[in-house]
Structure formats: structure tokens, C-alpha cells
Amino acid sequence: MTARILAMRRWWKPGALFLALILCCNGVSFTQHEKPVLHGRHWVAITGKPIAATAGAMMFQKGGNAVDAACAMLGATCTMYDVLSWGGETQALIFNPKTGKVIGINALGVAPTGATAELYRDKELDFPPEDGPLSAVTPGTPGGLITMLAEFGTLSLREVLEPSMQMAEGYPMEEGTVKRIERRKERLKLWPYSKALFLPHLGEEHEGPHVGEIFRQPDLRETLRKLVEAEQRALEEGKSRKEAIYAAYERFYRGDIAEELVRSTREQGGLITMQDLADWTCYLEEPVMTTYKGIEVYKLTCWVQGPVMLQMLNMLEDLDLKGMVYNSVNYIHTLYQVMNHCYADRDFYYGDPYVPPEEPLQGLLSKEYARERLKQIDWNVNDPDVRPGDPYPFQDGTNPYREFLNKWTNRPEQPEKKLNEEEWAALEESFWTGTTSIQAADKEGWVVSVTPSGAWIPPVIAGRTGIALSQRAQSFVLRPEENPFNVIRPGQRPRATLTPGMALKDGRPYLSFAVQGGDTQDQNLVQFFLNMVEFGMNVQEACEAANITSYQMRSSFGLHKVEPGRLTLHESVSAEYRDVLEDMGYTIDVRRKTSGPINAIFFDRKHGSFWGGSSNYGDDYGIVW
């Protein structure tokens, strides 16, 4: 492949041969990192906010395990609203040292009663709206937290929710959240309970909270108190620990909390019913897995984009990535093309596996299919119209959607106008929307990787519950020709972007990793994984290292825009590299930080310790002992 790139005619100009040799033989330095590795012996807790990492550490200090700590961090980050909150969705991978198995947690909400494609098309919409009551799916995070804690934790719900309850009484508002509230305040004013909560200085020039101001959430505090009260009453009645925790689940989804959530949601124009909440369930499921050079890599299945990373690894496994050199032109072009092939499959084939039609996951994840897709790559220039493949023959089937597949394209019928800076910033933000990541591990062997999200600013607050509603319905499509597996209908989960990762080596934890963002997540995570496995970086180097980002897939948010050839590079990539990539059909965008932010744990079997990596991009923070 290197030879093919060297042979490109446009390179043959004065000095071109020398430049070509440099481009193929030199990589970008990656030995420096801004933050230190977190070295721990007993436990590690990492998440997107320092105060939330402290909540995880508090659980370990109480004698809890990694699941208890992860649940406390989940509750704390949700109480901060910034990029997620309590009405959103939670998805996790848990390694159970007692069984040696990885378990998936599916706590993604479903489209409510009445949420049909016809409803949105009648409103002349191309996709469900990106915010507001009609973008809401049923809350999943409360059920996900309760299920994880009941099944795999050791502490009580009261103990795990105590940090969140204290924060709901009042915590100092952070700068990032202040800016988001002020920037989106006109949207927040559309919904009465949101306006009352987020805009305490209504009518003043700055209407939201100020940095450092104590932000109080009495309604959320009362909802959390009700959950703890339900647990306590069940214990007093002689119920077991697990039964008592599930009593809180019952109260949230079928009791007085549910009644107020439904009343206020429908009052504001939403669709959620009591039956929708009662019918919803959190699934414990088997994740999908592939091997990369003997390492088992686990992801959640196709209700999120997790299998994309496995597809990418299958395509990359037989290539000499190390020989291409880290972040050379060759390496960047290869990653970009592989990403686009796998994301095109995601955009057409991924959806909720609990409702028909059945996704062709066996074919998508086969090594033979990956080799076939690899043959379709143009090694010389960017292909702006990479299309989904046909995985059905690789599972002995026939594609029932061949007619849709033949017409599917990312190429507009007429050339689209170039985005201005404001439009590009909006598209870029949509690719990075919301979410945080949570990593926890303990000396007993429990490992937890979580990517919770949803109900970010600006959310609709559901009445006196203090619960913000998810906006995840926007990730559905309204027409089967776009993705026949992800057309909105009541009771179906949208295909989300949220994608924690975990890897085992010789049957034991090797890496646990996750990243916040939207469609960028598996792009970041595959590069993190390769940074460690192929290029020998330590976990902190791999978390901070220069990543590339493609925007050629269809965004999962807003208007589902696609920007063929758009490529974000780290500023360390030289001007010479950029010139060659532009010649190959790329539109270059340069950023100072491109790593995610990624948070991860490496398990040092030689020394019996943890290495924690906490991103230098954002507010991410870790604590170890």
C-alpha cells in the first residue's frame, strides 16, 4: 500500500521523493503526556468530573466494590446536568471475577406510545427533533443504576445515592455548565420546569447560575429520597438487600414518581405514558466480541455503535500498522477509510435487536466479511461515497433490503455548499454531543466500564420530579430506506452512539476503556486500543495521544448531516502531511486536543497493580489507592 501511495503522480515534483520517504518513515512523537499515570493497588475510580470521582472513592472507603463505586459516580455525574442527567440512558460492561464473564447492561429508553414515523413526518420533519418533549425516550439511567447495584454491588442504595443527594441539596456550579446554560437559555425558557430550575436570575443579563454559585435541586433531592425510602420500607418488611433495592425501581417506574413524570411530560407536549414506564426493562445481556491478535475485545451489541470498533479491528488485524508508522499519511488514510466502511454498515444495519427485523450481526462481525470490505478500499485517495457492504452471504443468508442498499448513498444529488464556521461548529458539536465515561476496578477483580448519556443541556424537566428527559429519539430515522433496522416506533430503542469497551488477555482483564462524545466514540477508542497494542504506549499516553476524526458517517444527532472527506487532525501533524492529505481529497481541520476525552484502566499482571489513564481533554479526573 505504501508503494501505491508513493506512485501517485501528484507527488512527483521537486523534492517529492524525499518528502515521500519522510511521510512514510516518520511518525508523530507520542512520548509526552500532560497528566501522570494513576498507579493503584487496591482500587481505581475515574470519571468525567472530579467531584464524581470523589463519590466513587467514597464507596471504596465504605468497603464497596467497583460496581458500587461506578453507581455512585453515575449518580453524581447525572446530578450535574452538564452532559447528562437522571432521565438519560446508561450502558455498561461489567467483568464478574466470580464467573470470569463480561456482562452487558442495556439501560437505554424506548420510544413512547404514539412515537411513530408518521407523527414526525406529518410535522414535516426529516428526523425526530434534537430537543424538546418529542425527542424524549423513556428514562433508563435510574433502572440501569438500580439493576447494576442490586445484581453486582454490595452496598445499599442509600449509601450509593448519598453523594448525589448531598449534591442535589447544593453543589458549586462549574464553568462549563454555566456556559452551556447561558448559551441555550432561550431553549430552556420554552419549558416551565426547566426555566425555573436553570435560570435563577431570570430577567438579568446573566440569567443562569454563576460560576461557583450553589446550584440547588430540591425536586431531584426529593425524588432520590423517595427511592431510598422505598428501599428502607422494603428492608423493614423483611425483604432481602436485592429485593429492597428493586423496590426503588418499582417506585420510579410504576409508583408516584412515574405518575408525576408522565403528568408533567404530557403537559409539556410529550408522549410518555404510565404503561411505557411499566413495560420498560433493563436488560442483562451477552456482549459481542472479536479477537485482535489474541486479545478478546468486548462491546455492547448493535443497539449502540459498539460493534463498529470490532468491525474496524477485524479489518485492521492483517495490516502492518506498525510498519506504516504512527500518524503517517499512510496510517491516517488507512484508518479513515476503514472507519468509513464500518460506519456505513452501522448507518444502514444497526438497530434494536429486541424488535424485528433481525440485524445481520453474525455477518458483520465475521473475519471473512472484514477481508472483503478491505478489498473495497481505495488506497490512493479518499472515497467520498463509501457505502454499506452486504454481510448476509457471510451468514448464509440473502439481503432482504437489497433495493434500499443499491440506492443508499452519502453523496448529495447536488454539490452541497461549503459550511461556514458557525455551521461547521454546530456539526462538530453534534458529533461530540453529551455523555461522560466511568471506569472502576478493585482488587477483588470487578471491573466496570460505563458510557452514560442523555438529558444534556437543554433538557425538558419532568415537573416536580427534577428528572430531565433524554433527547435520544433524535437518533432514529423516519424512513426505512435510510436504515430499515432503526425506524422509530413505540417500544423500540434508538440505535445510540454509547459504547464502553473492555478487553481480556488470557481470560483476565487487560484494558477497560470508554470515551465521551457522540459518533466520535469508537473512532477514538479504536485508536486508543491500537496506541497500546501496536505502538506500545502506556495508558496515559494512549489517552492523550493525537487522534484523527472522520465526519463522513451520518451524524446520529440533529439533521444527521454527513461531511465527506472532512478530517480533524492534531496540531502536531505537519503541514507537509496535511498538504498530501488535501491532495488525496481530504478537507483538513486542525485541533490542539483530539483524544476524546478517553478514560481507561490497564491491568498490570506483572506487578499486580492498576494503571489509570484520565484524559487531559475536559474535566476528567481519577482517584486511586
pLDDT tens digit sequence for 23-78: 444 444 455 788 999 999 999 999 999 999 999 999 999 999 999 999 999 999 99
Compute the average pLDDT of residues 365-382.
97
- DSSP H or E run through 316: helix 307-316
Cβ(380)–Cβ(5) below 8 Å: yes
Q: What is the mean pLDDT of the chain?
A: 92
Total structural domains within the chain: 1
* pLDDT for res 619: 87
Compute the average pLDDT of residues 407-429.
67
Reported confidence tier of residue 3, pLDDT bands at 50, 70, 90: very low
Answer yes or no: is pLDDT of 600 > 80: yes
Compute the average pLDDT of residues 519-524.
94
Compute the average pLDDT of residues 251-278.
98
* pLDDT for res 15: 36
Answer yes or no: is pLDDT of 296 > 90: yes
156 within some domain: no
Residue 179 burial (10 A CB sphere; 0-12, 13-18, 19+):
middle
491 within some domain: no
* pLDDT for res 21: 40
* pLDDT for res 23: 46
Reported confidence tier of residue 1, pLDDT bands at 50, 70, 90: very low
d(CA 391, CA 146): 37
More confident residue, 9 or 598: 598
Tally Cβ neighbours within 10 Å of residue 285. Answer: 15
What is the C-alpha end-to-end distance of the chain, expressed in Å? 47
CA proximity to 569, closest of 384, 326, 325, 327? 327
Q: Global pTM? A: 0.94
Contacts of 474 (CB under 8 A, 6+ apart): 127, 128, 129, 130, 131, 135, 494, 556, 557, 558
More confident residue, 321 or 597: 321
Reported confidence tier of residue 312, pLDDT bands at 50, 70, 90: very high
Q: Which three cell numbers stand for residue 254?
A: 410504576
Q: Which three cell numbers stand for residue 465?
A: 420530579
Check which CATH number belongs to the domain holding 551 and give it: 3.60.20.40
Answer yes or no: is pLDDT of 412 > 70: no
* pLDDT for res 203: 95
61 within some domain: no
198 within some domain: no
Backbone angles phi, psi at 530, to 5 degrees: -65, -35
Compute the average pLDDT of residues 339-366.
98
What percent of the chain clears pLDDT 70, i.e. is strictly above it? 91
pLDDT tens digit sequence for 101-116: 999 999 999 999 999 9
Reported confidence tier of residue 535, pLDDT bands at 50, 70, 90: very high
* pLDDT for res 31: 52
* pLDDT for res 358: 97
Cα 74 to chain center, whole Å?
Answer: 14
Provide, for the chain, the percentages of residues in helix, strand and coil under a 3-state DSSP scheme, each rounded to the nearest 5.
Answer: 40, 15, 45
Compute the average pLDDT of residues 481-493.
98
331 within some domain: yes
Reported confidence tier of residue 81, pLDDT bands at 50, 70, 90: confident
| Residue 567: C-alpha distances to residues 9, 306, 600 (Å) | 23, 22, 25
pLDDT tens digit sequence for 446-486: 999 999 999 999 999 999 999 999 999 999 999 999 999 99
* pLDDT for res 16: 37
105 within some domain: no
Answer yes or no: is pLDDT of 528 > 60: yes
* pLDDT for res 32: 73
Taking each continuous run of H as one helix and of E as one strand, the counts in the chain are: 24, 19
611 within some domain: yes
* pLDDT for res 432: 52
* pLDDT for res 568: 95
Answer yes or no: is pLDDT of 439 > 90: yes
What percent of the chain clears pLDDT 90, i.e. is strictly above it? 87
Q: Which three cell numbers stand for residue 551?
A: 465526519
Cβ(47)–Cβ(22) below 8 Å: no
* pLDDT for res 10: 36
Q: Range of 30's domain?
A: 2-36+289-434+496-624
Q: Lowest mean pLDDT of 24-33, 190-199, 399-408, 578-587, name the range.
A: 24-33
pLDDT tens digit sequence for 192-247: 999 999 999 999 999 999 999 999 999 999 999 999 999 999 999 999 999 999 99
301 within some domain: yes
Cβ(5)–Cβ(330) below 8 Å: yes
Reported confidence tier of residue 417, pLDDT bands at 50, 70, 90: low
